[in-house]
């Protein structure tokens, strides 16, 4: 559906210096999928989205939708944004304050190139207002809507033109935490029901994991990894991805041997020898970094009976009750690890505890040279 190839986009900052915002970006979004560009501020995700929208003119590369090019540097093709037929929603919803809900939604139909009858406009507007659950508020003034309702109104206005592609740039960032969580469900419901191909930009890992079919993690203008939310979280390809998406424990080590029986490596670390999976083949003697998620560091008062797991005798330094979970800080051989466990684990601070990690939940990746 959407194909972006070898995209390079640069702009000049306030000091007149060139900024390489997107470098060799390649993405392929199938029809009906929800694709998220995830990364920290300044990583190039919004520039990539604006390049797709036609609001930025890339230096090189190709962008096509359903095989039809909307940008090609080599062929000198640049379709203006108002002719691409994409729906766009940004951080500021840009709701017309002097219009009611119906008129705000109908506006793109009234000013577009195609002439619609009053009956056609009414049918199209009420269809999308029903989809975003605002049909009962069609006559309400836009300024009297809540933040979540304004966000849904902005979505309705983008959807009313039945766009080939929906582009969303941090649309939930202005909402409070509870409303943001509610709107994630709304967005997912809408996308699933309407089957509209969507490209979403966010710096919020929870949003990316909750909404997406695929996630592209970006840093310094480049895509670090593309995969399903589960792949990104459980099998990060480098330290940046592991660190940015969720929290993790990093443990440095050296590969000592290969355990072919379990397709694992035996790695010597500061907390002892442990068995781990790897994101790519490594050799004996290689320096690696292990990523171990806190929820995969299990705690128990009894020594684990399964000899295949990595187990250590630890000491509880701190603990924090989070309601649905407990965060423990434990020490193993003078090294501190974070463990997130069920609240039923009540080992007191200063007491010993057994910590264990399944080898499949430990991910080794090549160490980045200092």
Q: How far apart are CA 24 and CA 315, in angstroms?
A: 47
Can you give 244-291 as a three-state secondary structure string? HCCCCEEEEEEEEEEECCCCEEEEEECCEEEEEEECCCCCCCCEEEEE
- Residue 203's nearest CA partner among 188, 219, 214 is 219
Give the residues of the chain that fall short of pLDDT 70. 93, 369-370
- Residue 18's nearest CA partner among 26, 8, 27 is 8
Res 22: pLDDT = 94
Taking the model in full, what pTM does it have? 0.90
Classified as helix, coil or strand, 308 is coil
CATH architecture of 247-366: Beta Barrel (2.40)
Both tokens of residue 156? 């309705």
Res 180: pLDDT = 83
Domains 2-243 and 247-366 share a fold: no
Domain extents in the chain: 2-243, 247-366
Res 97: pLDDT = 85
Res 114: pLDDT = 83
**Kindly report the CA angle at 203 between 197 and 206, in degrees rounded to 5?**
80
Res 370: pLDDT = 55
Contact 362, 296 (CB under 8 A): yes
DSSP string, 136-201: GGTTSBGGGS-HHHHHHHHHHHHHTT--SEEEEESTTTTS-HHHHHHHHHHHHHHHHHHT--EEEE
- Residue 218's nearest CA partner among 41, 364, 71, 64 is 41
The sign one gets for the Cα dihedral 118, 120, 121, 127 is positive
Average pLDDT, the chain: 92
Res 92: pLDDT = 73
Would you say domain 2-243 falls under CATH 3.10.310.10? no
């Amino acid at each position: 559906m959407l194909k972006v190839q070898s995209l390079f986009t640069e702009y000049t900052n306030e000091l007149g210096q060139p900024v390489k915002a997107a470098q060799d970006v390649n993405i392929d979004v199938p029809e009906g999928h929800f694709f998220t560009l995830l990364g920290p501020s300044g990583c190039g995700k919004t520039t990539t989205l604006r390049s797709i929208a036609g609001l930025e003119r890339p230096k090189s590369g190709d962008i096509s939708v359903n095989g039809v090019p909307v940008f090609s540097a080599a062929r000198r093709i640049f379709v203006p944004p108002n002719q691409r037929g994409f729906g766009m929603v940004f951080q500021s919803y840009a709701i017309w304050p002097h219009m009611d809900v119906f008129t705000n939604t109908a506006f793109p139909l009234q000013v577009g190139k195609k002439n619609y009858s009053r009956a056609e406009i009414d049918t199209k507007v009420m269809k999308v207002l029903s989809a975003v659950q605002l049909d009962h508020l069609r006559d309400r003034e836009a300024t009297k809507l809540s933040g979540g309702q304004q966000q849904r109104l902005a979505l309705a206005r983008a959807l009313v033109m039945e766009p080939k592609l929906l582009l969303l740039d941090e649309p939930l960032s202005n909402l409070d935490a509870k409303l943001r969580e509610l709107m994630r469900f709304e967005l997912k419901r809408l996308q699933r029901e309407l089957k509209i191909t969507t490209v979403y930009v966010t710096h919020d890992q929870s949003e990316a994991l909750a909404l997406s079919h695929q996630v592209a993690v970006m840093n310094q203008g480049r895509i670090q990894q593309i995969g399903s939310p589960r792949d990104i979280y459980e099998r990060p390809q480098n330290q940046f991805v592991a660190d940015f998406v969720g929290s993790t424990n990093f443990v440095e080590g050296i590969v000592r041997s290969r355990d072919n029986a379990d397709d694992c490596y035996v790695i010597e670390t500061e907390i002892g020898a442990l068995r781990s999976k790897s994101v790519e083949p490594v050799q004996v003697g290689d320096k690696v970094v292990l990523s171990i998620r806190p929820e995969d560091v299990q705690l128990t008062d009894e020594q684990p009976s399964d000899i295949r797991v990595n187990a250590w005798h630890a000491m509880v330094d701190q603990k924090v009750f989070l309601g649905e979970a407990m965060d423990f800080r434990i020490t193993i051989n003078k090294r501190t690890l974070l463990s997130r466990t069920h609240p039923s684990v009540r080992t007191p601070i200063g007491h010993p505890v057994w910590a264990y990690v399944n080898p499949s939940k430990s991910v080794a990746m090549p160490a980045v040279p200092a």
